Amino acid sequence: MADPVPSVPAEVAVLREQEWHARRDAHVERVREWTVPHQERRARKEKHPVLDFLFTYYSYRPAHLERWHPGPGVALAGESAREYLRWPAYVETSDGVALAPLAANRRGTAEFVRDLLAATASRPPRLGCFGLHEWAMVYRSREIRHEAWPLRLGSEGTDAVVESSTIRCGHFDAFRFFTEPARPRNTLHPTRDGQIGMEQPGCLHANMDLFKWAYKLDPHCPSKLVADCFELAVDVRALDMRASPYDLSALGYSPVRIETEEGRAEYVRAQSAFAARSMPLRERLISLCETLLGSDEQVDPVRGDDGDQRGGRERQHPAGDDAARHAPAHR
């Protein structure tokens, strides 16, 4: 056995081999509810207009989602823990195998994620966009992204909904997919550089992106938190596409008819519920970032898979590094 490396937090929770094996196995079983069907569809070359997004727009592979990491402040006991040493972020200590402090070249990512999420959490949710970003992505276009699925109202009916509505999309990674004729119809003007100043917790895409920010911190983000964020993204994505112009009823996704008053009310209720559900996840990610950065101001630091402590506060939000802000190019 190599000499212990004393470069981990002084206080760690030591998990017995049997205990962390059980947690690892439970995590794998949990996420395979989604990874296995996705891999089976890929083998059949079958596209899914709702669920593929979670593995294509987001760049975290199914195999990566199935990996279990305990998070900071946890040491894994037993000989089998040495398998984690294949990842450079892990070191051997007198307590077992544990994560080393966050590498210097990854601090910019953690700082950006903390600042973005803290800024988002400091704002009240803005509701009432009605999911019109999906409609703006096909507005006056002969090409639609999910060409195998019909538009509920047809092209002309879809265009009429866009033209009779006020579009208030503040999420850059949704806005950048608008068709050219739809862009001037947006009353907001989101940009990549202005992301921290505009993100708000009522936005479906901001809440789905909690999954992205969790896996950007891999392997320092506890897999339980990654899976919790992924599960939220699955449910939010369903609403996103149910409120879209596509008819996906054959897949079991009943439409939220946002072109009607009843449908808009239904959308706002669901949007509000997701805003509330995202809050504790966002706070857990903020607290994790503060732990990783060794902030003097951290609140209730995350202790890996041992608990879901939460914290956070308003603060100034300097721009993050370009690598952290880079977003996938496909929807």
Query: Do residues 96 and 14 make contact, with C-beta atoms less than 8 angstroms apart?
Result: yes
Please list the ranges in the chain whose pLDDT falls under 50.
1-6, 295-330
The whole model's pTM is what? 0.87
Query: Which pLDDT score, from 0 to 100, does residue 116 have?
Result: 98
Strands 13-15 and 97-99 come out as unpaired
Query: Do residues 204 and 131 make contact, with C-beta atoms less than 8 angstroms apart?
Result: yes
Query: Which pLDDT score, from 0 to 100, does residue 9 have?
Result: 57
Query: Which pLDDT score, from 0 to 100, does residue 10 have?
Result: 58
Any bridge partners for residue 246, and if so which? 151
Cα 22 to its chain centre, rounded Å, is: 25
Query: Do residues 129 and 275 make contact, with C-beta atoms less than 8 angstroms apart?
Result: no
Query: Do residues 133 and 236 make contact, with C-beta atoms less than 8 angstroms apart?
Result: no
Which 3-state string (H, E, C) describes the chain? CCCCCCCCCCCCEEECHHHHHHHHHHHHHHHHHHHHHHHHHHHCCCCCCCCCHHHHCCCCCHHHHHCCCCCCCEEECCHHHHHHHHCCCEEECCCCEEECCCCHHHHHHHHHHHHHHHHHHCCCCCCCCCCHHHHHCCCCCCCCCCCCCCECCHHHHHHHHHHCCCECCCCHHHHCCCCCCCHHHECCCCCCCCHHHHCCCCCHHHHHHHHHHHHHCCCCCCHHHHHHHHHHHHHHHHHHHHCCCECCHHHCCCCCCCCCHHHHHHHHHHHHHHHHHHHHHHHHHHHHHHHHHCCCCCCCCCCHHHCCCCCCCCCCCCCCCHHHHCCCCCC
What's the start-to-end Cα distance of the chain, in Å? 47
CA proximity to 304, closest of 117, 82, 74: 74
pLDDT one-digit tens code per residue, 91-126: 999 999 999 999 999 999 999 999 999 999 999 999
Query: Do residues 90 and 97 make contact, with C-beta atoms less than 8 angstroms apart?
Result: yes
Query: Which pLDDT score, from 0 to 100, does residue 303 have?
Result: 37
Query: Which pLDDT score, from 0 to 100, does residue 148 have?
Result: 84
Tokens at residue 140, please? 């006056």
Instruction: Give me the residue spans of the domains in the chain.
Output: 13-126+193-325
pLDDT one-digit tens code per residue, 49-96: 999 999 999 999 999 999 999 999 999 999 999 999 999 999 999 999
Query: Which pLDDT score, from 0 to 100, does residue 324 have?
Result: 36
Query: Which pLDDT score, from 0 to 100, does residue 97 have?
Result: 98
